[in-house]
Amino acid sequence: REFKSFVLADIPGIIEGAAEGKGLGIQFLKHIQRTRVIIYLVDIFTADDIDKTLEILKNELYQFDRELLKRPHLVVLNKIDLMDPKRLKAISKRVSPDYIFCSAQSGAGIKKLLNRIEHELDRQR
């Protein structure tokens, strides 16, 4: 298999109000403008509020630069290694099949995530 490289920028903890300067807001949002793919990394333990969490994140991007919402994106639910398998299965039935479940700690789902990132980047070439 051919090896490819790409730059991944971690934009930590965008909070509600970031577009207006709350937290480290605008400093981090400026970095997002240089990306080709946006990955929304959501803690699986906020599963009851995934839609609300995504809405807040997307709203902050919209407030900062509407064009950002037109970029390809992936939704990643992290920390699956810490969740009870029955609850994880229930969540997976409830959310979009496009969401990627992974664990940075155990490595579960990371290969799938990398393949999806590669696919999105290849589509833009």
**What are the pLDDT digits (tens) for 49-99?**
888 888 888 888 888 889 999 999 999 999 999 999 999 999 999 889 999
pLDDT of residue 13: 63
CA distance 84 to 74: 24
> Are the C-beta atoms of residues 75 and 42 closer than 8 Å to each other?
yes
Domain 36-123 CATH (choose: 3.40.50.300, 3.30.230.70, 3.30.559.30, 3.40.50.1360): 3.40.50.300
How far is Cα 82 from Cα 80, in angstroms, rounded to an integer? Answer: 5
pLDDT of residue 58: 87
- Specify the pLDDT at position 77: 94
Distance CA 67, CA 99 (A): 22
Q: What is the pLDDT of residues 5-46, one digit of tens each?
A: 877 766 666 656 655 666 555 666 777 888 889 898 888 887
CA dist list (Å): 107 to 60, 69, 110, 111: 30, 29, 5, 8
At 85, the amino acid letter reads: P
Looking at residue 98, its pLDDT comes to 93
CA-CA-CA-CA torsion sign (13, 17, 22, 27): positive
pLDDT band at 4 (very low <50, low <70, confident <90, very high): confident
